[in-house]
Amino acid sequence: MSEDRMFMRRIAVIGSGYVGLTTGACLASLGHRVVCADVEKTKVARLSAGEVSIREPRLAELVAQGLAAGRLRFVIGASAAVPDAEVVFLCVPTPMGAGGAADLTAVESVVAEVRELLPAGCVVVNKSTVPVGTAARTAQLLARPDVAVVSNPEFLREGSAVEDFLKPDRIVVGCEAQDAAERVAALYSRLGAPTVLTDAASAEMVKYAANCFLAMKLSYVNAVAELCERLGADVLDVTEGIGYDRRIGQAFLQPGPGWGGSCLPKDTHAFLQVSAAAKFDFELLRASLDTNSRQQARMMDKVRDAVGGSLAGQRIGLLGLTFKAGTDDLRDSPALAVAALLAAEGADLIGYDPSVRAAVPGMTDDLQITDDPIKVASGAAALVVLTEWPEFRVLDWGLLAELVERRVVVDTRNLLDADVLRRVGFEVRGVGRRATPAVEPSAAIQAESSAVLSYDQSSQLPHARSTACRWRG
């Protein structure tokens, strides 16, 4: 048998959403034969035609390659995917249920649907983020002693999910039956990543412990940023200084309007629930959530201060609505949370985001969406950067300066080149930094044209620091 045939496994992926589709397409690209199932007929039809609606670099390309090579196909319903499978991945949603606990309805209904159809000796793998003990519960529900249940959490970030899958920092596989864990780990052997083989409960715990650590790291940095403002220090220099310590690292140290998205908030709440159920008061984690709410409120305070003390009736232009750049995901977006706080104080909001074309349910009704970033400036008493889209750095700030009522920007992501903005007359208020006052108009006019050209466009993100994006010269 060729090496490829020995490596190749027949895999079913149940749930063709964000995690399932990435998992299926990437496993197919590694050489496995993958059948992805979903309950939505139109989604299955579109995916079968190679149409990928999720905004994720390289995902459509891998789906097209998988379809063309015959290694990837899509079917309606879990029961159509499993009869021939050696490994069945569960990639169904586990949303936040009552009181913050993970809602396992989707996992349970798939288990009920497939339990009698699974081939003898196959392995069921839970990829969804589920409370510790779910693998054991799944095994109980399956009641199939010949089928092992393995936990293999995903660590994919939106916007770099394919890259994260194919170049993982680690693979974590947990099961009491070591041979089943090894079979799952072998699916990824071509990736050459460090692999942690453990029991199911520990693997389930890794996912929560990792996401909650990241959330705590961000709350810590946001708290440090607040202290920097009070003590006159610069958070960018502070985080650079601490980040060189290899035990801390430079990643995930950007202060912002608070952390959000479909994972960190859901998982911190769920981990708190898990802790409470185990009669453990996880104070540190609770404080991280409180700090996050405080950070959102602090951003509103900054805007209120910027417009002179009252938001009532003030037109505020918002730049960025998604929970981070590079995605169209608005779930639990801190930008929307800040918008809701501003609206509650009577602000009149207009927002632009490169990936959002219309209002969605859950958005405050007082927010008007525009498809033109220039329009957010018309008559605005303040502009507020809420998502770190690199293109905001190269807007025509000279033109925006002509349109606003008051030249002040609250930059909650420390994204903009304050030197450039101040030369066209803007005062810039960041997070964890001293405010940068505008330059006198005469000096501003002289410097305006060359300033716009001085953006360092290669530094796409605020943390890719260069002298061009430093506030201090």
Q: How far is the CB of 259 from ligand UGA (least distance, A)?
A: 4
By CB under 6 A, tell whether 256 contacts ligand UGA.
yes
Q: How far is the CB of 221 from ligand UGA (least distance, A)?
A: 7
User: Please, are residues 37 and 27 in contact by the beta-carbon 8 Å criterion?
Assistant: no
Q: Interacting stretch for ligand UGA, rule CB under 6 A, among 105-113, 247-255, 305-313, 415-423?
A: 247-255
Binder among 25, 106, 218, 444 for ligand UGA (CB under 6 A): 218
By CB under 6 A, tell whether 254 contacts ligand UGA.
yes
Q: Is the CB of 92 or the CB of 156 nearer to ligand UGA? A: 156
Q: How far is the CB of 131 from ligand UGA (least distance, A)?
A: 14
Binder among 263, 356, 386, 424 for ligand UGA (CB under 6 A): 263
Q: How far is the CB of 67 from ligand UGA (least distance, A)?
A: 25
By CB under 6 A, tell whether 367 contacts ligand UGA.
no
Q: Which two tokens stand for residue 188?
A: 């990824």
Q: How far apart are CA 260 and CA 220, in angstroms?
A: 15
Q: Interacting stretch for ligand UGA, rule CB under 6 A, among 61-69, 257-265, 419-427, 452-460?
A: 257-265
By CB under 6 A, tell whether 324 contacts ligand UGA.
yes
Q: Is the CB of 147 or the CB of 416 nearer to ligand UGA? A: 416
By CB under 6 A, tell whether 157 contacts ligand UGA.
yes
Q: Is the CB of 253 or the CB of 421 nearer to ligand UGA? A: 253
Binder among 24, 131, 261, 373 for ligand UGA (CB under 6 A): 261
By CB under 6 A, tell whether 211 contacts ligand UGA.
yes
Q: How far is the CB of 335 from ligand UGA (least distance, A)?
A: 9
By CB under 6 A, tell whether 335 contacts ligand UGA.
no
Q: How far is the CB of 213 from ligand UGA (least distance, A)?
A: 10
Q: Interacting stretch for ligand UGA, rule CB under 6 A, among 119-127, 248-256, 350-358, 421-429?
A: 248-256
Spatial strand order of the sheet with 195-198 comes to: 72-76, 33-38, 10-14, 87-90, 123-126, 148-151, 171-174, 195-198
Q: Interacting stretch for ligand UGA, rule CB under 6 A, among 259-267, 297-305, 365-373, 414-422?
A: 259-267
Q: Interacting stretch for ligand UGA, rule CB under 6 A, among 87-95, 149-157, 372-380, 392-400?
A: 149-157
- On the 0-12 / 13-18 / 19+ scale of CB atoms within 10 A, 174 is buried
Binder among 21, 72, 214, 235 for ligand UGA (CB under 6 A): 214
Binder among 156, 319, 340, 428 for ligand UGA (CB under 6 A): 156
Q: Is the CB of 172 or the CB of 400 nearer to ligand UGA? A: 172
Residue partners of 324: CB distance under 8 A and separation at least 6: 158, 159, 260, 261, 387, 388
By CB under 6 A, tell whether 264 contacts ligand UGA.
yes
Q: How far apart are CA 379 and CA 343, in angstroms?
A: 17
By CB under 6 A, tell whether 93 contacts ligand UGA.
no
By CB under 6 A, tell whether 389 contacts ligand UGA.
no
Q: Is the CB of 253 or the CB of 274 nearer to ligand UGA? A: 253
Q: Is the CB of 175 or the CB of 264 nearer to ligand UGA? A: 264
* Catalytic positions, written as ranges: 263
Q: Is the CB of 311 or the CB of 325 nearer to ligand UGA? A: 325
Q: Is the CB of 147 or the CB of 323 nearer to ligand UGA? A: 323
What would the 3-class secondary structure string for the chain be? Answer: CCHHHHHCCEEEEECCCHHHHHHHHHHHHHCCEEEEEECCHHHHHHHHCCCCCCCCCCHHHHHHHHHHHCCEEEEECHHHCCCCCCEEEECCCCCECHHHCECCHHHHHHHHHHCCCCCCCCEEEECCCCCCCHHHHHHHHHCCCCCEEEECCCCCCCCCHHHHHHCCCCEEEECCCHHHHHHHHHHCHHHCCCEEEECHHHHHHHHHHHHHHHHHHHHHHHHHHHHHHHHCCCHHHHHHHHHCCCCCCCCCCCCCCCCCCCCHHHHHHHHHHHHHHCCCCCHHHHHHHHHHHHHHHHHHHHHHHHCCCCCCCCEEEEECCCCCCCCCCCCCCHHHHHHHHHHHCCCEEEEEECCECCCCCCCCCCEEECCCHHHHHCCCCEEEECCCCHHHHHCCHHHHHHHCCCCEEEECCCCCCHHHHHHCCCEEECCCCCCECCCCHHHHHHHHHHHHHCCCCCCCCCCCCCHHHCCCC
By CB under 6 A, tell whether 171 contacts ligand UGA.
no
Q: Is the CB of 154 or the CB of 353 nearer to ligand UGA? A: 154
Q: How far apart are CA 12 and CA 35, in angstroms?
A: 5
Q: How far is the CB of 372 from ligand UGA (least distance, A)?
A: 24
Q: Tell me which residues touch ligand UGA (CB under 6 A).
A: 129, 154-158, 211, 214, 218, 252-254, 256, 259-261, 263-264, 323-324, 334
